[in-house]
A and B are shown apart, each in its own frame.
Chain A
Amino acid sequence: MQISRDILTRSYQAMRTIREFEERLHVEFATGEIPGFVHLYCGEEASGVGVCAHLGKTDTIASTHRGHGHCIAKGVAVDGMMAEIYGRRTGVCRGKGGSMHIADLSLGMLGANGIVGGGPPLICGAALSHKLLKDNGVAVAFYGDGASNEGSTLESLNLATVWHLPAVFVVEDNGYGEATGSSYACAGTQKDRAAGFGMPYFECDGTDFFAVYEAAEEAISHARSGKGPAMLHVHLARWYGHFEGDAMSYRVNGEVTKERSERDCLVKFRQRAADVSLLEASVLDEIDAAVKNEIDAAVVAAKKAPLPEAEDLTRDVYVSY
């Protein structure tokens, strides 16, 4: 498979940005300055980025409570995201949504979501818009292994097939929903679930950008070409607790360390780039340095940014009232 230098650089940059963003939040959260719940996407970067590499502004995604990575992959500005997480007026949602509700509809980002299983039905609607408005767009639902057990998700698989929608269902399977393993909570297999609804199924190692990129290309082009929905099952691991503060006693000692040392999507990307001379290490180093600065600046700016004002409380409940 040929991937342009431009896509490679942008994808690496997006993955590095997500990693840096999340690692930094992990540190900042521990200081107690960040309000609310924060769920980190560390270790899962290649999934969001490998999928979104095939999407443009006219395509739509819906995300989850673990949404920072999807937002960055779809192009949401990190300074606005950081400010949002800090509850600032300059945040992408003016400090009214926080980590779990980052959205930018102008970029086709239909929102992170506090409700597990909230996204897949919305994506059926977005896919319907793409279909009826004939903009050639596709709609992609990211959801977890845990969310795959929500009635809303299973109903959406059916609806998308019945309506023959340009929708892709991306199951980000990190093996856990909160503190419960998917081996306990998920009956059958995702593959059989796709087959049960008559849609094509693709799967890949979600820590390998190239594998995700290829599998996503197939799933998305299937949907975009008018053949109906597809499912993409991405195998992942999460590197931190369900949310910040989770001690993870349900995971065997060393599980995360092993994931970090053996299945780091950024290390793997660099390896592959070097092996087949795709991108020079110096280019990647420059990206790393630039990203670090960008995140530093975003944190500094977020901490200094103005708080929302009293009038914001009652603003934007309706368009008109």
Chain B
Amino acid sequence: MSKKSFRQAINEALRQEMRRDPRVIIMGEDVAGGRGGTSGVQDAWGGVLGVTKGLLTEFGEDRVLDTPISEASYIGAAAGAAATGLRPVAELMFVDFVGCCLDQIMNQAAKFRYMFGGKARTPLVIRAMYGAGFNAAAQHSQALYPLFTHIPGLKVVVPSSPYEAKGLLIQAIRDDDPVIFLENKVMYDEEEDVPDDPYTIPFGEANLTREGNDVTIVAFGRMVGFANQAADRLEKEGISCTVIDPRTTSPLDSGTILDCVADTGRLVIVDESSPRCNLATDVAALVAEEAFDALKAPIRRVVPPHTPVPFATILENLYLPSVEKIEAAVRSVAAYRVKEEV
């Protein structure tokens, strides 16, 4: 056990799985970097944010493949390789670039197993960074996990901390289905204790990061940390919260969510993706349908407005859910009382 950053946790997961299984390969733009450069320095970048640094040195060019800037072909190649014996982990850099290769994910990899009558296995992982908070503007800041969650055949992972990232990524690599693994780009330097040995965290099993009696908060990815901070502050006001990190949006651990709502009767959902047809609407629909009787207050969603992500810091801050916005939402549902019928 030692302190590791989100970046290191992911790097370690990749490294340990590549050691364990020679079929695991990684590919992407500048996952090593330096090829064709004039200095001869290899592994010049190790990923645009240094997440795959050092893997080239240990595993060599056959297993750490730098690609041309050609997402449709290399993401498709990863799907094809997965269906034929390798276990590729392809890095899409910014998830926004899925615009360039969605067909290979949505119509190819995701569909093989069902369409081919259960005869295919596509053990593919696509890693990409998501999220606002970097002033990266409209084409580099989206939180597109709902897009993938919408597509049957894909599994979708949104880790909320370094510990979670390592265990979930190892699980993703060992999983026999196509998995989209989304890393919040603002979190790479966050640190916590992470075991040195490999471990897995199963998909579809939510993590209760805290338990309370008054309000249930369901939050995704980076928002889990925000929700816990809000819950800390609300505790001092006498409002006690349960915080649920679903870990994977597909499969979704609906059982845990429903159990917690049955206990608290009040629900706030925090989701940094665009508000229409996002995970917050999905969870709200689940609870409205399955736990209507338990609800003591309207469900509240803390989500961005229905706009692209703006560039300027002041607008980006307004755009994103915040600890304060979560607190306000929790207070309002905690205070809500059903009107007595007259």
How far is A116 from B100 in the complex, measured between Cα atoms in Å? Answer: 9
A255 at the interface (CB under 8 A from B): yes
B34–A115 CB distance below 8 A: no
User: Which residue of chain A has its CB nearest to the CB of B70?
Assistant: A149
Q: A36-B135, A36-B137, A314-B305 are in contact. Are A146 and B37 (CB under 8 A)?
A: no
Max chain B CB contacts within 10 Å: which of A36, A37, A100, A182?
Answer: A36
User: Which residue of chain B has its CB nearest to the CB of A89?
Assistant: B312
Interface residue tally on B, bucketed by range = 35 or more
Measured between C-beta atoms, what is the minimum distance from A119 to chain B in Å? 13
**Interface residues contributed by chain A, number (CB under 8 Å):** 47
Please tell me which one of the listed residues B36, B72, B312 contacts residue A181 in the complex, with CB atoms under 8 A apart: B36
Please tell me which one of the listed residues B45, B71, B135 contacts residue A178 in the complex, with CB atoms under 8 A apart: B45
A149–B68 CB distance below 8 A: yes
Chain A stretch 17-66: residues in CB contact (< 8 A) with chain B: 35-37
User: Which residue of chain B has its CB nearest to the CB of A317?
Assistant: B307
B312–A146 CB distance below 8 A: no
Contact with B along A93-105 (1 / 0, CB 8 A): 1011110110000
A179–B44 CB distance below 8 A: yes
A-B contact count (CB 8 A): 155
Q: A114-B139, A182-B36 are in contact. Are A97 and B311 (CB under 8 A)?
A: yes
User: Which residue of chain A has its CB nearest to the CB of B45?
Assistant: A179
B35–A184 CB distance below 8 A: yes
Please tell me which one of the listed residues A101, A151, A250, A310 contacts residue B137 in the complex, with CB atoms under 8 A apart: A101
Max chain B CB contacts within 10 Å: which of A152, A250, A308, A314?
Answer: A250
Interface of A is mostly: loop
Inter-chain contacts of A100 with B (CB < 8 A): 137, 139-140
B100–A180 CB distance below 8 A: no
Inter-chain contacts of B37 with A (CB < 8 A): 176, 179-181, 250-252
B315–A308 CB distance below 8 A: yes
A186 at the interface (CB under 8 A from B): yes
B209 at the interface (CB under 8 A from A): no
Measured between C-beta atoms, what is the minimum distance from B136 to chain A in Å? 6
Inter-chain contacts of A181 with B (CB < 8 A): 35-38
Contact with A along B141-165 (1 / 0, CB 8 A): 0000000000000000000000000
Chain B stretch 83-141: residues in CB contact (< 8 A) with chain A: 96-97, 99-100, 134-140
B221 at the interface (CB under 8 A from A): no
Chain B stretch 30-56: residues in CB contact (< 8 A) with chain A: 30, 33-41, 44-45, 48
Contact with B along A80-111 (1 / 0, CB 8 A): 00000001100001011110110000000000
Please tell me which one of the listed residues A88, A96, A117, A313 contacts residue B100 in the complex, with CB atoms under 8 A apart: A117
Closest 7 CB pairs of A and B: A181-B36, A184-B36, A250-B37, A179-B33, A114-B139, A87-B312, A35-B135
Measured between C-beta atoms, what is the minimum distance from B137 to chain A in Å? 5
A250–B305 CB distance below 8 A: no
A250–B70 CB distance below 8 A: no
Q: A87-B312, A96-B315 are in contact. Are A250 and B38 (CB under 8 A)?
A: yes
Inter-chain contacts of B73 with A (CB < 8 A): 151
B313 at the interface (CB under 8 A from A): yes
A312 at the interface (CB under 8 A from B): yes
Q: A36-B311, A313-B318 are in contact. Are A116 and B135 (CB under 8 A)?
A: no
A87–B34 CB distance below 8 A: no
A251–B139 CB distance below 8 A: no
